[in-house]
């Protein structure tokens, strides 16, 4: 099998804040480690099969840039690749390269254009193409005065359906953010190749599920191995029946039969049901603090598996690891997770996945967005070898409040349920499917989707003032829209800006006293709050120190981008560096066209937002 894969990571300002939910790392670090984990998983996948993958890595914020150029896997030693990926953890260099705002539409368009223009050499005429997108925030850059896909398409004169589905490109999108982000990603994925396109956005699911590292790992597993979600049951507490089980070690447990006496236990036990079509069992584990847990499994017949024993092996980077068990025995397995040997406290996420690349469950919700009390039709299509699967299946649809709906088999092989949704917000949905594939292979697994009930919420902040000079202190008025402040609300202005005091005045208003460091990096950035999660729409600007001058780019203009009305939007320099034009200017357009047409070198000074301040051309 040949596959062209592009991995696209959000590196906007919000990614350089804590991953939250108990994690002691920033989201960008967890994203970096996840991409490094993907590299090792792809290397394992391609080196142990006859598959060849052409993979490129990208990062984006205001602009989009390549992190690693397209290369074919397997590559042998992945160290150099992973070292390059870790560079996205350096905020000053990253924000100098791509800015700090969020332009999802431009990022997807840029990467799709690259994939279409750069078919991998020696690949067959037909091969699979996929973009893997991870973002933690919604669109913050307007196109045609809108934050929507339609606004970007109109301004740029493109059609995402033509660009993505028309070129056979699937979109796998993973988001952690607002209801509106889920709608944004779902809207984009609807324009992509249907088979292989998925969207999972964590926002109004239970708070313990909003976990960056676990979300990235489960997405990575899906991308590389096209795995299925297996039922996982803790033995000491009720199963959440989510994408993963979250727990802490060490934990307190009753000592013997005396419920009043407790002692610390540094391990947790689970059961997982492995079906007949599982070619490999993956047990993924992520954790949030320094320490090193371990994982082992026991088959239904009593054989033990851990790293290096009976063919099992681990692939791990940072605070995430996956135990691979090839050709697992069907039946109920026991899984033991041991905490750090020094009893350092860990918050962990465990997930169980079945690798069976030929089988998948496609879910469709129609309509995806509806009013409270209205109904949607949820359709599950078991797929085998890229076609609707033959066999006998049954499925149950449920939401996270405990309501269930039986799904009814249709003549075309799909299973359908009609469900109503009384509460506004994102309603996560679970489909549990079991049956016989081709009349003989037992299948049992889960898949997830969601429906948007009512208007998608999109909490946003406004701040006044919004421009700051290094070395000064400010009192900033903060207002929130589509959410409410609470006593637990925290605010962050990014690296180099200390929040001295944050005071909530009312559910909608607050003040922040801040101190801007002398070396705070200049330019636009986002302001964020936590509890609730919200970000500024237009961002703020840290001005340059007097005498520091403008950042200057040099090179040759290879292309110019215009909107549907012929207004100049951006100049593209060699090495695919794109510089935005804030306002259409006929003199600037003619200057850049001359540099492009006559192949003249240019020197472009950038403004505080990374746009063109002025241009000088050479001879």
- At 221-244, the pLDDT tens digits run 887 877 789 989 999 999 988 888
| Burial zone of 619 (CB within 10 Å; 0-12 exposed, 13-18 middle, 19+ buried) | exposed
Distance (Å, rounded) from C-alpha 87 to C-alpha 106?
Answer: 22
Please report the pLDDT score of residue 204 as a whole number.
43
Distance (Å, rounded) from C-alpha 139 to C-alpha 62?
Answer: 10
Please report the pLDDT score of residue 208 as a whole number.
40
Please report the pLDDT score of residue 56 as a whole number.
94
Distance (Å, rounded) from C-alpha 198 to C-alpha 450?
Answer: 11
pLDDT tens figures, 554-605: 888 888 887 666 778 788 887 667 788 877 677 788 888 888 888 888 888 8
| Mean pLDDT (whole number) for 441-455 | 89
Return the higher-pLDDT residue of 213 and 329: 329
Distance (Å, rounded) from C-alpha 618 to C-alpha 599?
Answer: 10
Q: Are 543 and 470 in contact (CB under 8 A)?
A: yes
Percent of the chain at pLDDT above 90? 46
**DSSP characters for 273-295?**
EE-TT-SEEEEEEEESSS---EE
Q: How many helices (H) and strands (E) does the chain have?
A: 9, 43
Please report the pLDDT score of residue 200 as a whole number.
65
Please report the pLDDT score of residue 108 as a whole number.
95
Residue at token pair 């961002």: 539
Distance (Å, rounded) from C-alpha 238 to C-alpha 285?
Answer: 19
Residue 177 has pLDDT above 80, yes or no: no
Distance (Å, rounded) from C-alpha 187 to C-alpha 151?
Answer: 13
Does residue 532 have a cis peptide bond before it, meaning omega lies within 30 degrees of 0? Answer: yes
Return the SS3 of 472: coil
Please report the pLDDT score of residue 205 as a whole number.
44
Please report the pLDDT score of residue 202 as a whole number.
59
Lowest mean pLDDT among 54-68, 167-181, 200-214: 200-214
Confidence of residue 550 (pLDDT cuts 50, 70, 90): low
Please report the pLDDT score of residue 256 as a whole number.
65
pLDDT tens figures, 399-427: 988 899 999 999 999 999 999 988 888 88
Distance (Å, rounded) from C-alpha 98 to C-alpha 102?
Answer: 10
**For the ranges 149-158, 214-223, 329-338, the one whose mean pLDDT is highest:** 329-338
Distance (Å, rounded) from C-alpha 180 to C-alpha 54?
Answer: 32
Distance (Å, rounded) from C-alpha 489 to C-alpha 193?
Answer: 40
Distance (Å, rounded) from C-alpha 322 to C-alpha 254?
Answer: 30
Q: How far is CA 546 from the centre of its chain?
A: 39
| Mean pLDDT (whole number) for 166-175 | 89
Closest by CA position to 360, among listed 272, 192, 228, 241: 228
Confidence of residue 617 (pLDDT cuts 50, 70, 90): confident
| Mean pLDDT (whole number) for 80-98 | 85
Please report the pLDDT score of residue 591 as a whole number.
83
Going from the C-alpha of 44 to that of each of 5, 48, 63, 200, the distances in angstroms are: 16, 6, 32, 25
Q: What is the CA radius of gyration of the chain?
A: 25
- Sign of dihedral through CA atoms 88, 89, 92, 93? negative
| Mean pLDDT (whole number) for 106-119 | 95
Please report the pLDDT score of residue 19 as a whole number.
67
Lowest mean pLDDT among 72-76, 103-107, 302-306, 605-609: 605-609
Return the higher-pLDDT residue of 255 and 332: 332
Distance (Å, rounded) from C-alpha 45 to C-alpha 220?
Answer: 12
Confidence of residue 209 (pLDDT cuts 50, 70, 90): very low
Q: Are 272 and 266 in contact (CB under 8 A)?
A: no
Three-class SS of 215-266: HHHHHHHHHHHCEEECCEEECCCCCCCCCCEEEEECEEEEECCEEEEEEEEC
Distance (Å, rounded) from C-alpha 306 to C-alpha 125?
Answer: 41
Q: Are 246 and 209 in contact (CB under 8 A)?
A: yes
| Mean pLDDT (whole number) for 353-373 | 89
Please report the pLDDT score of residue 589 as a whole number.
82
Please report the pLDDT score of residue 455 as a whole number.
84
H or E element that contains 588: helix 586-597
Token representation of residue 369? 């967005």
Q: Calculate the average pLDDT of the chain.
A: 87
Confidence of residue 513 (pLDDT cuts 50, 70, 90): very high
Instruction: Report the first-to-last Cα separation within the chain, whole angstroms.
Output: 49
Q: Are 186 and 203 in contact (CB under 8 A)?
A: no
Confidence of residue 178 (pLDDT cuts 50, 70, 90): low
Residue 107 has pLDDT above 90, yes or no: yes
Please report the pLDDT score of residue 564 as a whole number.
66
Q: What domains lie within the chain, and their CATH numbers?
A: 1-225 (3.40.50.410), 229-251+265-355 (2.60.120.380), 460-542 (2.60.40.10), 552-617 (2.40.50)
Percent of the chain at pLDDT above 70? 92
Q: How far is CA 56 from the centre of its chain?
A: 16
Q: How far is CA 440 from the centre of its chain?
A: 37
Does residue 235 have a cis peptide bond before it, meaning omega lies within 30 degrees of 0? Answer: no
Distance (Å, rounded) from C-alpha 149 to C-alpha 159?
Answer: 9
Please report the pLDDT score of residue 311 as a whole number.
96
| Mean pLDDT (whole number) for 21-29 | 74
Please report the pLDDT score of residue 396 as a whole number.
97
Please report the pLDDT score of residue 549 as a whole number.
57
207 CB neighbour count, 10 Å cutoff? 12
What is the chain's length?
619
């Amino acid at each position: 099998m040949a596959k062209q894969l592009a991995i696209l990571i959000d590196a906007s300002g919000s990614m350089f804040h804590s991953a939250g939910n108990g994690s002691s790392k920033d989201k960008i670090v967890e994203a970096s480690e996840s991409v490094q984990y993907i590299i090792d998983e792809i290397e394992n996948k391609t080196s142990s099969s006859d598959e060849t993958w052409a993979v490129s890595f990208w990062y984006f914020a205001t602009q989009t840039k390549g992190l690693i150029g397209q290369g074919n896997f397997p590559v042998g030693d992945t160290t150099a690749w992973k070292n390059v990926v870790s560079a996205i953890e350096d905020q000053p260099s990253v924000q100098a390269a791509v800015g700090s705002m969020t332009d999802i539409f431009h990022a997807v368009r840029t990467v799709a254009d690259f994939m279409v223009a750069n078919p991998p050499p020696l690949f067959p005429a037909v091969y699979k193409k996929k973009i893997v997108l991870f973002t933690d925030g919604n669109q913050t850059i307007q196109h045609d005065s809108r934050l929507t896909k339609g606004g970007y398409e109109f301004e740029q004169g493109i059609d995402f359906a033509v660009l993505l589905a028309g070129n056979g490109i699937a979109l796998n999108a993973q988001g952690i953010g607002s209801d509106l982000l889920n709608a944004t990603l779902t809207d984009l994925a609807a324009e992509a190749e249907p088979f292989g396109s998925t969207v999972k956005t964590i926002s109004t699911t239970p708070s313990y599920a909003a976990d960056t590292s676990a979300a990235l790992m489960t997405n990575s597993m899906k991308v590389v191995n096209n795995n299925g979600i297996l039922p996982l049951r803790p033995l000491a507490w009720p199963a959440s029946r989510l994408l993963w089980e979250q727990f802490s070690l060490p934990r307190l447990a009753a000592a013997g039969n005396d419920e009043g006496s407790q002692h610390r236990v540094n391990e947790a036990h689970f059961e997982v049901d492995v079906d007949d079509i599982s070619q490999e069992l993956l047990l993924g584990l992520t954790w949030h603090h320094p320490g090193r847990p371990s994982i082992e499994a026991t088959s239904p017949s009593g054989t033990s598996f851990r790293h290096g024993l009976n063919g099992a092996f681990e692939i791990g980077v940072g605070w995430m690891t996956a135990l691979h068990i090839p050709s697992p025995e069907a039946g109920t397995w026991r899984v033991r997770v041991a905490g750090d040997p020094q009893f350092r406290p860990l918050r962990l996420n465990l997930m169980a996945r079945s690798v069976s690349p030929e089988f998948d469950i496609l879910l469709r919700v129609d309509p995806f967005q509806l009013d409270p009390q209205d109904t949607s039709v949820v359709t599950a299509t078991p797929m085998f070898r890229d076609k609707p699967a033959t066999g006998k299946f049954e499925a149950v649809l449920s939401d996270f409040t405990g309501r269930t709906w039986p799904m009814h088999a249709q003549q075309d092989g799909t299973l359908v349920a009609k469900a109503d949704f009384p509460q506004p917000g994102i309603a996560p949905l679970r489909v549990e499917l079991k049956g016989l594939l081709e009349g003989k292979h037992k299948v049992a697994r889960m898949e997830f989707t969601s429906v948007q009930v009512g208007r998608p919420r999109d909490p946003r902040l406004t701040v006044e003032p919004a421009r700051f000079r290094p070395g000064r202190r400010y009192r900033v008025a903060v207002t929130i829209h589509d959410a409410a402040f609470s006593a637990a609300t925290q605010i962050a202005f990014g690296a180099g800006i200390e929040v001295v005091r944050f005071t909530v005045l009312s559910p909608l208003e607050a003040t922040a006293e801040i101190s801007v460091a002398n070396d705070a990096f200049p330019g636009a950035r986002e302001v964020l709050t936590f509890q609730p999660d919200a970000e500024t729409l237009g961002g703020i600007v840290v001005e340059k120190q007097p005498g520091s001058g403008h950042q200057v780019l040099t090179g040759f203009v290879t292309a110019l981008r215009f909107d549907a009305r012929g207004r100049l939007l951006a100049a593209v320099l060699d090495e695919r560096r794109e510089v935005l034009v804030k306002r259409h200017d006929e003199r600037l357009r003619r200057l850049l066209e001359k540099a492009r047409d006559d192949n003249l070198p240019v020197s472009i000074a950038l403004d505080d937002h990374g746009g063109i301040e002025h241009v000088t051309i050479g001879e």
